[in-house]
């Protein structure tokens, strides 16, 4: 594996395991900061490999490949949570600094571990239980009310990690697999949330932390389609408590790098934590254009233990609209219409082939009139993906 080419002046090499769009979007900020990136990519045409010169192809589950990759880097971080524990242990043993650390990352990899830890910390969570048997499921559902949410703590079965179940019967196949693997399922109450929020922050190994404003995330068919930054009409006390919960989680779990805490907002200004992600996150894409420091720059600063940048918004509102793959493989020709219609749209494409429902890009737009921005972001995203033609 050839070594990444270092810039003169003492600038470090940051290695990213995984060559998806999150690694790709670090490329611009890294070039600006003078930092060299190296990406362990899934394929030569991985999203990040298209824009980063050092992008050796290798498997993130292969200890030797990961160690050889990491040996050329000053610090290693991640594009996703899928690096197995044994690879993380070997990496830690090799002495290359890694952020987040395996000790923190487990709480983003294992949802049962996350629920146990957050509950112990007193962070508000949905009611939850571990389930190994149909009787466990029935008891939990009868207690909290049906339907309930069932989750595989790590990864998923056949690509699915979440199911809404109306009875234990709906979960028979998962329970069978869980028993075979001696690995319990996670059950959660179906929370009557009013909307979804996210707290995004970065924390450095030295313990400095900086949080962006709390945002609203809009999901369509389980996929994030829109983010409104900051969340509209959010009670300032709720926002402060949510941010404080995020900072507390980061500190208690020892998170380093960007942390996303997804929340359900409940009637009356309460909230519960839905999921954690320890990396730049879809809920923070708005910050690339909408904040003084975007999440990708901030993640690099955090994993390098540099002082963090200001998370201050540059505008009253920024709206992010995800571009999802549709039936239309030719994305570029849409630029002519989208850019002519709205000279303030910021398009971000990931260099990925179109597959239905796949996240292939996003747009950001900032300004003072939220309803107008939402319409513009939605139109631009829909037009690029081919969902609208005028």
- Can you tell me which of 59, 244, 270, 312 binds its own copies, judged by CB under 8 A? 312
| 3 state DSSP class of 263 | strand
- Can you tell me which of 350, 376, 379, 382 binds its own copies, judged by CB under 8 A? 350
- Can you tell me which of 182, 221, 340, 356 binds its own copies, judged by CB under 8 A? 340
User: Minimum CB separation from its own copies for residue 55, in Å?
Assistant: 7
- Can you tell me which of 155, 156, 333, 357 binds its own copies, judged by CB under 8 A? 333
- Can you tell me which of 55, 175, 227, 239 binds its own copies, judged by CB under 8 A? 55
CB 302 within 8 A of CB 204: yes
356 binds its own copies per the rule CB under 8 A: no
Q: Which is nearer to its own copies, 160 or 355 (CB)?
A: 355
Q: Which is nearer to its own copies, 10 or 268 (CB)?
A: 10
Binding to its own copies (CB under 8 A) within 31-50 occurs at: 31-34, 36, 44-45, 49-50
**Cα four-point dihedral sign 351, 354, 360, 365:** positive
Binding to its own copies (CB under 8 A) within 70-99 occurs at: none
- CA dist list (Å): 352 to 43, 181, 283, 318: 12, 34, 20, 25
| N residues, the chain | 390
User: Minimum CB separation from its own copies for residue 96, in Å?
Assistant: 18
Give CA–CA dist 77/85, Å, rounded.
14
270-299 mask for its own copies (x: CB under 8 A)? ------------------x---xx------
Q: Which is nearer to its own copies, 152 or 295 (CB)?
A: 295
Q: How far is CA 377 from the centre of its chain?
A: 20
CB 202 within 8 A of CB 258: yes
- Can you tell me which of 122, 336, 356, 389 binds its own copies, judged by CB under 8 A? 336
Dump strand ranges (E) for the chain: 13-17, 36-40, 75-78, 128-131, 148-151, 162-165, 185-189, 195-203, 209-211, 215-220, 223-229, 257-265, 271-277, 317-324, 346-349, 359-367
User: Sheet containing 185-189: which strands, arranged edge to edge?
Assistant: 128-131, 185-189, 148-151, 162-165
CB 339 within 8 A of CB 345: yes
CB 119 within 8 A of CB 129: no
- Can you tell me which of 154, 203, 346, 359 binds its own copies, judged by CB under 8 A? 346
Closest CA to 359 of 300, 297, 281: 281
Which residues line the annotated binding site for ATP?
111, 151, 188-191, 196, 274-275
Q: Residues interacting with its own copies, by CB under 8 A?
A: 5, 7-12, 24-25, 27-34, 36, 44-45, 49-53, 55, 210, 288, 292-293, 301, 306-310, 312, 314-315, 329-333, 335-336, 339-340, 343-344, 346-354, 360-361, 366
Binding site residue list: 111, 151, 188-191, 196, 274-275
């Amino acid at each position: 594996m050839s070594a990444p080419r270092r810039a003169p002046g003492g600038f470090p090499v940051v290695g990213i395991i995984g060559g998806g769009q999150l690694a790709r979007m670090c490329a611009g900020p890294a070039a600006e900061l003078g930092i060299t990136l190296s990406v362990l990519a899934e394929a030569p045409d991985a999203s990040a490999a298209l824009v980063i010169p050092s992008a050796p192809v290798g498997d993130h589950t292969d200890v030797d490949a990961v160690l050889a990759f990491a040996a050329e880097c000053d610090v290693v971080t991640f594009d996703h949570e899928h690096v197995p524990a044994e690879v993380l242990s070997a990496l830690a043993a090799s002495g290359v600094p890694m952020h987040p650390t395996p000790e923190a990352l487990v709480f983003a990899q294992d949802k049962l571990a996350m629920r146990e830890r957050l509950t112990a910390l007193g962070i508000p969570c949905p009611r939850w239980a571990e389930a190994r048997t149909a009787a466990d499921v029935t008891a939990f559902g009868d207690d909290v009310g049906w339907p309930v949410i069932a989750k595989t703590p790590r990864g998923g079965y056949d690509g699915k990690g979440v199911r809404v179940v109306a009875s234990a019967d709906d979960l028979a196949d998962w329970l069978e697999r869980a028993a075979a693997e001696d690995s319990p399922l996670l059950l959660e109450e179906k929370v009557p949330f009013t909307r979804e929020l996210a707290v995004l922050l970065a924390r450095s190994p030295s313990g400095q932390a900086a949080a962006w404003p709390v945002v609203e995330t809009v999901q369509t068919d389980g996929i994030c389609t829109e983010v409104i930054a900051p969340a509209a009409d959010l009670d300032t006390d709720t926002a402060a408590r949510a941010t404080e919960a995020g900072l507390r989680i980061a500190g208690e779990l020892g998170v380093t790098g960007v942390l996303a805490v997804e929340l359900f907002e409940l009637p009356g200004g309460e909230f519960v934590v839905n999921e954690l992600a320890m990396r730049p996150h879809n809920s923070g894409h708005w910050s690339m254009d909408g904040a003084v420091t975007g999440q990708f720059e901030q993640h690099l600063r955090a994993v390098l233990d540099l002082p963090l940048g200001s998370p201050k918004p540059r505008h009253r509102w920024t709206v992010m609209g995800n571009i999802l793959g549709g039936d239309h493989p030719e994305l570029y020709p849409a630029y002519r219409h989208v850019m002519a219609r709205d000279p303030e749209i910021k398009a971000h494409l990931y260099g990925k082939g179109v597959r239905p429902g796949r996240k292939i890009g996003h747009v950001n737009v900032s300004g003072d009139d939220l309803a107008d921005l939402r319409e513009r972001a939605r139109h631009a995203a829909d037009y690029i993906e081919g969902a609208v033609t005028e």
